[in-house]
Amino acid sequence: MIGLVATLALPAGAKPAPKAHPAKAHAAKAHVTKAKAGAAHVSKAHAKGPPVKAHVSKVAVAKALPPRLAPAAASAYAPPEHHANYASCGDAPEPFQKAAVENAKSIDTLDWKPFGLPEKGWAIYEILVAQEIGTHCGAGTPGFAKALGSFQARYSLPADGVFALPTFETLKGVWQERRPFVMMRVQKLCPDAPAEPMLIGIPREQETFARPDRSLRLDALLAYEQMVAAARNESSALRADPKALSIFSGYRSPESDKIRCDTEHNCDGARRAACSAHRTGTAVDLDVGWAQGVTADTTTTENRMMQTRTAAYKWMVKNASRFGFVNYPFEPWHWEYVGPLTALGQVPAALPSSGTAAAAVQAGAVQQPQPAQAGTTGP
């Protein structure tokens, strides 16, 4: 199945909208939902219900605001802060010393199409790969190559420690298999949108840009709140940045996506209208910073590279699984709630499909998720 999943270049459905413009009918409906759900919800912020907010184009706001961080310098490979060349990272047998030299080169020069579009180098994925293979060493070190070799051996690949497409395809398969949405798409299925009582408005203080109709599935929002509280508790950089990890997209109804596609031709290559992960109410686009002159969900290499070096992204890669969130690797901002995980690699429960949404509410969607203990997430 990994091979099959790895061949998918499923985007999460996030593309900057030239004119963010939700259908009025949907906005009105979402307000009703919020009021209803707010009554039952634990958070005071939710119970109050969000104030009516004037609609402002996300892109217009993004352009008016200063960049979240300075653009990343397009320079030669330098190990990122948390994946540096510690003394222990040089300690590996000879074949991995050679592999390290190759990896240090390819991280800036590899020509490939990991998600269907041409990319140069693989530094964007370095932190995600390091987390998966269980090393704190930078990509150009023998320690990284040794850890990659162990991963390759586990998946019956040549265990040479050299980063190349077959190894990445396997990694990608592992990551994609953690997303129930992707597993349904592999079977040519599209998950239903959640039943209305399962959706709840996102409190304004948790949004990157104020919008009146942004909501999430209740269990996803509860898990998100726990995760962000932990992030602020554990990271002084995130504590000092109130916008870090705020939400700029959540639930998007199939109807509103279709309207945007039909009327604005904003179809995201027809995928948005066809079946977006955001229809599940479990997908969130989070502020992990963005480069100057672009929006938070711009897919240029420069923007994504910069985003993967922020404290917010690094914290998420290390910790999000404790709260049941996994990343779509092509989009550093896109995370999906797949349920509490005690260890990465567990296959999450399926998303509700026709006829089961109400049962899902009763079965667990309104339960407080219990995040796994820190340190149990595995490599």
Residues that bind Zn ion (CB under 5 A): 12, 14, 285, 334
Q: Residue 1 Cβ, how far from Zn ion at the closest point, in Å?
A: 24
Among candidates 47, 55, 366, which has minimal Cα distance to 210? 55
Nearer to Zn ion, 230 or 288 (CB): 288
Q: Residue 337 Cβ, how far from Zn ion at the closest point, in Å?
A: 12
Tokens of 345: 């690699």
Q: Residue 250 Cβ, how far from Zn ion at the closest point, in Å?
A: 9
Beta carbons within 8 Å of 87's beta carbon, 6+ residues apart? none
Nearer to Zn ion, 151 or 251 (CB): 251
Q: Residue 195 Cβ, how far from Zn ion at the closest point, in Å?
A: 21
Q: Which helix (H) or strand (E) holds 31?
A: helix 24-40
Whether 221 and 314 have beta carbons less than 8 Å apart is answered as: no
Helix (H, G, I), strand (E, B) or coil at 244: coil
Nearer to Zn ion, 282 or 321 (CB): 282
Residue 1 CA, distance from chain mean position: 22
Nearer to Zn ion, 148 or 284 (CB): 284
Q: Residue 368 Cβ, how far from Zn ion at the closest point, in Å?
A: 25
Nearer to Zn ion, 57 or 85 (CB): 57
Position with the least CB separation from Zn ion: 14
Among candidates 126, 22, 19, which has minimal Cα distance to 81? 126
Nearer to Zn ion, 121 or 332 (CB): 332
357: left (phi over 0), alpha (psi -120 to 50) or beta: alpha
Beta carbons within 8 Å of 14's beta carbon, 6+ residues apart? 249, 268, 278, 285, 297, 331, 333, 334
Q: Residue 11 Cβ, how far from Zn ion at the closest point, in Å?
A: 9
